[in-house]
Amino acid sequence: MFGPKGITVNAILPGSIGETAFNDVMGYPRTTDLLPGMEIPVMRRGTPGDIGPIAAFLCSEQAAYLTGEFIDVNGGLLMD
C-alpha cells in the first residue's frame, strides 16, 4: 500500500549499545556485564556509530528495494 508511493518500512533492532543516558533516566545500573552465559561474538558492546550507518543506508536510494525487513545489529549476540 505504501510501496507504490516509494515508501519503504524497515526496522533496526539494536543489541547491547554501550552505556547510555537512557540507563540513567530509566534507573538501570551502568554495567559492562551482560547476563551470565551471554557472549557477544565480536567481543564488544555496540556504539551509536554502529547503528548510524545502517540508518543512513535505509534512508538512501541504495535501499529503495528493501522493505519489510528487521535488521539485527547486535554483534552476533542473537545468531541462530
Calpha distance 46→54 (Å, rounded): 13
pLDDT digits (tens, 9 = 90+) for 30-49: 555 555 666 778 888 888 89
- What's the pLDDT score for residue 72? 93
- What's the pLDDT score for residue 18? 75
Give the CA radius of gyration of the chain. Answer: 16
- What's the pLDDT score for residue 32? 52
- What's the pLDDT score for residue 20? 59
User: How would DSSP label each residue in 1-22?
Assistant: --GGGT----EEEE--B-S-HH
pLDDT digits (tens, 9 = 90+) for 3-19: 889 899 999 999 878 76
- What's the pLDDT score for residue 56? 97
